[in-house]
Structure 1
Amino acid sequence: MTNIKLFSVSLSSLAGGDSQQAVCEGCTRIISDRFLMRVNDASWHEECLQCAACQQLFATKCSGCLDTIAPTEFVMRALESVYHLSCFYCCVCERQLCKGDEFVLKDGQLLCKNDYERERDFQVKSAVK
C-alpha cells in the first residue's frame, strides 16, 4: 500500500511588503518574483516547485525556448511538446505555424510541410546516387 501525504499549497503575493525575504526551498535563491509558492511553510519559485517523489518540475516549460509557460498563456501542442504561440514556428524557414497548418515534429524540431517535403526529397535523391 502506498503512503500518500497531502500538502497545503498556496500562491502568495510578495506585494504585501514583508520585510523578511523568502528563500526558495528548491534553488536556495532569494525569491524576488511577484509571486511565490508556499508548500507546508516552505517557499518556492513557481518554476522550482517539484514533485517530492520523482523531482519532476510542476511548471510547464516551452519546448521551443525552454522558458516557463504561465497558466494563463495560450499555447500550441505537438504530441507531448508544449510551445508559446511565438515559439511555434518552422525551424528552417521560421514561418509561424498556426492552428490547422500541417507540420512535422522531427527530432524535437518543428518543420512546416513544405520544408519537410523538401528535406525528404533531398534525402531520397541523395540515397539514390
Structure 2
Amino acid sequence: MTTAQFDCQYCTASLLGKKYVLKDDNAYCVSCYDRIFSNYCEECKEPIESYCKDLCYKGLHWHERCFNCAKCNHSLVEKPFAAKNERLLCSECYSNECSSKCFHCKKTIMPGSRKMEFKGHSWHETCFVCEYCRQPIGTKPLISKDSGNYCVPCFEKEFAHYCSFCKKVITSGGITFRNQPWHKECFLCSGCRKELCEEEFMSRDDYPFCLDCYNHHYAKKCAACSKPITGLRGAKFICFQDRQWHSECFNCRKCSVSLVGEGFLTQNQEIFCRKCGSGVDTDI
C-alpha cells in the first residue's frame, strides 16, 4: 500500500503512524470504524468499540462486562447459560426459576435428575415415598389416602376393608350395606344380579334387591290400584286387617274423598266414608 493509498477509507485521513482497522481489505481509522461498524450492546445500549470484545448470541451483542445473568448479575462469560423470555440466566437461576419444585421438600428438582409426577405435583425420586414404610414408590402401584401416598402392601395392612362378597381388598370407593363393605361392582341384586350402586333398592332378610325383584317377590299390593307398596322415600301407606293401601289410594269407593285419618266403613272389601256408607249394610 503506497503512502497516498494509506488513508482511511471513510474520512480519507492519513493512517500513517496511527491505529487502524482492516475490513473487507479496506483500512479505517478507529473512530470511523467504530462509528460505522460497531454493534450496540443489548445491556448498556452503547456501541461495542473495536478494542472491546464483542460477545454474540442469536444475533444479539454484548460487551464482555455486560454479558451477565439477568437475575443474579454474575458473569456468563465462558459459563453455561440459558435464555427465558429474552433474558439470559445462569444455570442455577434458570433451574430455580424454571424447574419444578418438589411437593415434599419444596426444593428445586434440578434438570437431569429423575422426577416423579402424580396428581399434578412433582417429587424428587427420593422424596416420593410410602407414608408408612418410607420406601421409594417409584413406578410401583400406589393408593392415596388423606393426602398421603401408600404402596399397596402398606395400604392393605393399615387401611383396607375386604369386600363382603368377593373377600378381596377394596382400594377405592366401595359402599356399605348393613355395616359391611362391598365393591361397587360386587353389590348386586340378590334376584337378577344387576349392579345396585346407582340404583334404588330394598332389602329382605339382610339381602339387597332391585325394586323390580323386590316388588315381584315380596312387596304388598295396594288393595285399590294393585301396584306394589314399597315405602320408598318416606311414602306412607295404610294397613287394615290383611289389606294395604297407598296413602293416596285410601279413598271412599263412592265419592273418592280421602279417608286418611278419618273414620270409614267397609262392605264386601270396599271402603266408604261415613256419609256414603250410612246407606249401605257395612261390616263395621
TM-score, length basis structure 1: 0.49
TM-score, length basis structure 2: 0.26
Structure showing greater Rg: 2
RCO higher in structure (CA 8 A, sep ≥6): 1
